[in-house]
Amino acid sequence: MQLRPGQVERQTHDYKRHGTTSLYSAFNTLTGQVIGRVTQRHRAREFLDFLRQIDRETPKDLDLHLILDNSSTHKTPEVKTWLAKHPRFKLHFTPTSASWLNAVEGWFGQLERRALYRGIFTSVGELKSAIKRYIKVHNEKLAKPFRWHKSAEAIMTSVVRAKLSLIDNKRAN
């Protein structure tokens, strides 16, 4: 649809949404590769299946640090029981509304721009196929290590400063 200067882009009159899907992804910061799992639902059962997939697809001698949002699916008794039996998985939860997942968010942005934006998917199956194709192409041709621009010391100093600021704000209120 042709847009006038300054006009916000919108869907065409005949746009039809054919369903949704959930994507679990694990981003390896050392290689830039992604392990992905596309599911119909977003429950603890699907999250556990994804953890099992990560367990199968990564070397057994590695400790795995997963940075997660605060979804309730990550904290169910079933998930906690599974994690207790798999101590190499270490979960770190981001504060609500934090931008600690910038590398993963950047990858999701690339997925959207390169594979989904303006796509016409007449079924959830087509959408899933497009996502899986993109993950495959990304891992084969586009993956590269994530480079931190700050040292670990600088990052930890910022974290400590932020915590102290939160404590001071709570005391002031």
Indicate yes or no: pTM above 0.85. Answer: no
On whether the CB atoms of residues 144 and 29 are closer than 8 A, the answer is no
Class of the CATH-defined domain 22-148: alpha beta
Give the model's pLDDT for residue 71.
80
The number of beta carbons lying within 10 Å of the beta carbon of residue 139 is: 16
On whether the CB atoms of residues 34 and 145 are closer than 8 A, the answer is no
Domain boundaries, the chain: 22-148
Residue 28 has pLDDT above 80, yes or no: yes
Query: Alpha carbon of 138 to those of 18, 70, 107, 134, 153: distances in Å?
Result: 25, 27, 10, 6, 31
62-73 pLDDT tens trace: 999 888 877 888
